[in-house]
Amino acid sequence: MSYKFDLSHIERDSDRSITAQLVALVRGAIEDGELPPGAKLPTTRALAEDAGVNHLTVVRAYKRLAAEGFVTASRGRGTFVRQAPPSVAPADGRWQHAILPRTQRSYLSQVVADTWHAPDVGDHINLANGWTADELLPVSDLARLSAEVFAEVGAEALSYGEADGLWELREHLARIGATAGFATNAEEILITNGARQAIDLSIRTVIRPGDVVVTESPTFMGTLASLEESGARVFGAPYDDDGLDVEALEQILARHEVKAVVVQTGSQNPTGQDMSPERVERLLALARERSFFVIEDGVYATIRFGVSEPSRMRARAPDHVIYVDSLSKTLGGGLRIGWVAASGEVRRRITDLKLATDYHTPGLTQHIAARWLASGAHLQHLAHINAEIGRRAEAMTNSIEQRLDDEVTATRPKGGHHIWLTFQRPLDERLLMAEAMHQGMSFTPGGATTVEGDGLSGVRLSFPRFDEERLDEGVRRFAAAVRAARRAGSGARLAPVLS
Ligand SMILES: Cc1ncc(COP(=O)(O)O)c(C=O)c1O
CATH number of the domain residue 61 falls in: 1.10.10.10
Segment 141-158 shows an average pLDDT of: 97
- Residues 270-311 have pLDDT tens digits of 999 999 999 999 999 999 999 999 999 999 999 999 999 999
Q: How many angstroms separate the first and last alpha carbons of the chain? A: 53
Band (102; pLDDT cuts 50, 70, 90): confident
Same-domain status, 174 and 302: yes
Specify if 9 maps to a domain. Answer: no
Same-domain status, 347 and 236: yes
Query: pLDDT at position 122, please?
Result: 87
Specify if 80 maps to a domain. Answer: yes
Same-domain status, 468 and 436: yes
Considering only CA atoms, give the Rg of the chain. Answer: 29
- Residues 253-264 have pLDDT tens digits of 999 999 999 999
**How much distance in Å is there from the Cα of 300 to the middle of ligand 1?**
8
Ligand 1 atom closest to the CA of 326, numbered from 1: 10
The domain tally of the chain equals: 3
Query: pLDDT at position 497, please?
Result: 32
Same-domain status, 399 and 471: yes
* Model confidence at 86: pLDDT above 60: no
Ligand 1 atom closest to the CA of 328, numbered from 1: 10
Same-domain status, 171 and 319: yes
Q: What is the mean pLDDT of the chain?
A: 93
* Whole-angstrom distance, CA of residue 421 vs CA of residue 329: 22
- Residues 43-53 have pLDDT tens digits of 999 999 999 99
Same-domain status, 272 and 326: yes
Query: pLDDT at position 492, please?
Result: 46
Segment 404-421 shows an average pLDDT of: 96
In short, whether 130's Cβ falls inside 6 Å of ligand 1 is: yes
Specify if 495 maps to a domain. Answer: no
Same-domain status, 366 and 453: no
Same-domain status, 185 and 247: yes
* Model confidence at 493: pLDDT above 70: no
Q: Label residue 69 left, alpha or beta by phi (over 0 means left) and psi (-120 to 50 means alpha).
A: left
In short, whether 390's Cβ falls inside 6 Å of ligand 1 is: no
Same-domain status, 229 and 304: yes
Same-domain status, 25 and 42: yes
Q: Which residue has the higher pLDDT, 423 or 95?
A: 423
- Residues 242-254 have pLDDT tens digits of 999 999 999 999 9
- Domain end among 314, 347, 375: 375
* Residue 331 lies in domain: 137-375
Band (456; pLDDT cuts 50, 70, 90): confident
Domain harbouring 404, CATH code: 3.90.1150.10
Segment 440-456 shows an average pLDDT of: 91
- Domain end among 375, 404, 421: 375
Specify if 33 maps to a domain. Answer: yes
Same-domain status, 59 and 37: yes
Ligand 1 atom closest to the CA of 131, numbered from 1: 14
* Model confidence at 88: pLDDT above 70: no
In short, whether 203's Cβ falls inside 6 Å of ligand 1 is: no
Specify if 5 maps to a domain. Answer: no
Segment 373-389 shows an average pLDDT of: 97
Q: In percent, how much of the chain has pLDDT > 90? A: 84
Specify if 257 maps to a domain. Answer: yes
**How much distance in Å is there from the Cα of 302 to the middle of ligand 1?**
13
* Model confidence at 85: pLDDT above 90: no
Nearest C-alpha neighbor of 177 from the set 315, 309, 362: 315
Specify if 498 maps to a domain. Answer: no
Band (459; pLDDT cuts 50, 70, 90): very high
Nearest C-alpha neighbor of 401 from the set 477, 483, 475: 475
Q: What is the pTM of this model?
A: 0.86
Same-domain status, 82 and 199: no
Specify if 186 maps to a domain. Answer: yes
Query: pLDDT at position 331, please?
Result: 96
- Domain end among 375, 392, 416: 375
In short, whether 195's Cβ falls inside 6 Å of ligand 1 is: yes
Per-residue three-class SS string for the chain: CCCCCCCCCCCCCCCCCHHHHHHHHHHHHHHCCCCCCCCECCCHHHHHHHHCCCHHHHHHHHHHHHHCCCEEEECCCEEEECCCCCCCCCCCCCHHHHHCCCCCCCHHHHHHHHHHCCCCCCCCEECCCCCCCHHHCCHHHHHHHHHHHHHHCHHHHHCCCCCCCCHHHHHHHHHHHHHHCCCCCHHHEEEEEHHHHHHHHHHHHHCCCCCEEEEEECCCHHHHHHHHHHCCEEEEEEEECCEECHHHHHHHHHHCCEEEEEEECCCCCCCCCCCCHHHHHHHHHHHHHHCCEEEEECCCCCCECCCCCCCCHHHHCCCCEEEEEECHHHHCHHHCEEEEECCCHHHHHHHHHHHHHHCCCCHHHHHHHHHHHHHCCHHHHHHHHHHHHHHHHHHHHHHHHHHHCCCEEECCCCECCEEEEEECCCCCHHHHHHHHHHHCEECEEHHHCCCCCCCCCEEEEECCCCCHHHHHHHHHHHHHHHHHHHHHHHHHHHCCCCC
Least confident of 48-62, 78-92, 447-461: 78-92
Domain harbouring 335, CATH code: 3.40.640.10
Segment 31-59 shows an average pLDDT of: 93
